[in-house]
Amino acid sequence: MTNHDEKLGQLLKSLPRERAQEDFTGRVMERLEMRRPPVFSPFKIALVSAAAVVVAATMLSTVSHIQQKAEQNHLKQELKSVKAQYRKIARQIEELKNQPPRDPVIYVGGDDRADYVLDVSKLHIRLTGRETPQAMPNRPEVIDLEPTYPSAGVIQASYQGGAI
Amino acid sequence: LALWRTKAKAAVTLETDSDLMERTRLGDHQAFAMIVDSHKHGLTNYLTRLLGSRPKAEDMAQETFLKLYLHADRYQSNGKLTGYIFRIATNLAISEHRKARRRSLFKTLFLSNADIGTTAEASAQSSLLVSEAHQKLAEAIALLPFHYRAPILLHEIEGMPYEAISETLGCREGTVKSRISRGRKRLKKQLAAYFDGDGS
């Protein structure tokens, strides 16, 4: 061993030792308390589980109740709508019943732009025979059909023989 | 007789440590506090020399004991508790060293050569390094690479045998011996001027 070896050995051995502070252990225990994972007893686990079940059941029940209520509301609305429709139809039927009878209109043709109808009330019928075609359908008579005045959508017609 | 007494004392300590660890494993805080009390000074001393900073050493020593408590079930009763505690501390120090290197911070945990003068000065002011010789030695230790520093401290200052050091550092006994030898050479080289000058 050289002189330097001896000196180094002595120096290393005589190096003053650092000591931990007085409250070192206390601080370790404090840190341990802060970091320690919570320990659950079986009772706590059971309590938490029961609470979770209750919460889940309540939530399910609430959701189910809300769904039922929504469905009921929907059905009520539909019923209301059907009733309203029924009343409307009844009113329309009543109106139709009370309406004076209309003169018939005969559709005689048309295209995309216009329909051609024959307004019977506007026709001036002059029978040339002694009997009407309805009275004697098998005996055609010559009749003249002339409108009182020509108008849009009404054609001038001239009918000879047979029923319209 | 002296050797026998030492062995008997070691056996009692081992048994006691095992018992205390067993109680700690079961959540006995008092037993854990006893372990902390009996190992805190040695660990603080080791980490102060290893890290070159007293506040960091205190913090890391506390962290070491916390890890010991939280992973008490990993401790095997046939091993010596001191070695186990020092292994946790060394691993923490290595981890911190790597993190510091990765972050490439200006102030790393293990200081670069450029910074060491300032820190050694601060260390000398705040610690027990009253003599110039000890101050020089502390500076020289701080300049050693980590893989030399740890075995030197464990062997020369903490008095650990090679076998225990190899367990603590997780390397072979031959490697430990070689690192201690090289570390000593570096220390001698750094302190040569001092040894040959006024300090001789």
User: CB-CB: which of A9, A18, A35 is closest to B48?
Assistant: A18
**B44 vs A4, A16, A20: nearest CB:** A20
pLDDT of residue B176: 94
Which comes out higher in pLDDT, residue B49 or B16? B49
Q: pTM for the complete prediction?
A: 0.55
Is B36–A3 a contact, with Cβ atoms under 8 angstroms apart? Answer: no
Q: Is residue B2 predicted with pLDDT exceeding 60?
A: no
Digit-coded pLDDT (tens) for B127-163: 555 588 888 888 899 889 989 999 999 999 888 999 9
Select the residue from B20, B28, B44, B190 to test the A interface by mutation, using most A Cβ atoms within 10 A.
Answer: B44
Tell me if A137 sits within 8 A of A127, measured CB to CB.
Answer: no
Q: Per-residue pLDDT for A138 more than 60?
A: no
DSSP H helices, chain B, are 2-25, 29-51, 54-70, 81-103, 113-126, 132-143, 146-152, 162-169, 173-196
Residue type (1 letter), B95 = S
Tell me what the mean pLDDT of segment A115-136 comes to.
Answer: 66
The residue-averaged pLDDT of A17-21 equals: 89
Specify the higher pLDDT residue, A155 or B147: B147
**B169-196 residue pLDDT tens:** 888 999 999 999 999 999 999 988 888 8
State the pLDDT at residue B118.
Answer: 44
Q: Do B36 and A24 touch (CB under 8 A)?
A: yes
**For residue B50, is pLDDT > 70?**
yes
- Cα A37 from Cα A46, distance rounded (Å): 19
**What whole-number percentage of chain B has pLDDT above 90?**
36
Residue B123 near residue B53 (C-beta atoms within 8 A): yes
What are A's interface residues with B at a Cβ cutoff of 8 A? 3-5, 7-9, 11-21, 24-25, 27-29, 31-32, 35, 39
pLDDT for the residue numbered B153: 92
Poorest-confidence range of B15-19, B38-42, B62-66, B88-92? Answer: B15-19
Q: For residue B6, count other CB atoms closer than 10 A to its CB.
A: 10
Burial A72-91 (b: 16+ CB within 10 A, else e): eeeeeeeeeeeeeeeeeeee
The CA distance from A157 to A136, in Å, is 22
Give A6's contacts in chain B (Cβ within 8 Å).
none
Task: Report the share of chain B in percent with pLDDT over 70.
Answer: 76
Q: pLDDT band for position A54 (50/70/90)? A: very high
Mutate to test the interface with A, among B26, B36, B144 (most CBs of A within 10 A): B36
Band of pLDDT at residue A136, cut at 50, 70 and 90: low
Q: Looking at the predicted structure, is the pLDDT value of residue A155 above 60?
A: no
Tell me the chain A residues in contact with residue B48 when contact means C-beta distances shorter than 8 Å. Answer: 18
Interval B98-127: pLDDT, tens: 887 777 555 544 555 544 444 444 444 445
Which of B34, B37, B38, B62 to mutate to probe the A interface, most A CBs <10 Å? Answer: B62
Tally A–B CB contacts below 8 A.
90
Give the residue on B whose Cα is nearest the Cα of A7: B195
In 3D space, the residue among A116, A105, A103, A123 whose CA is nearest the CA of residue A153 turns out to be A116
pLDDT band at residue A98 using 50, 70 and 90 as cut-offs: confident
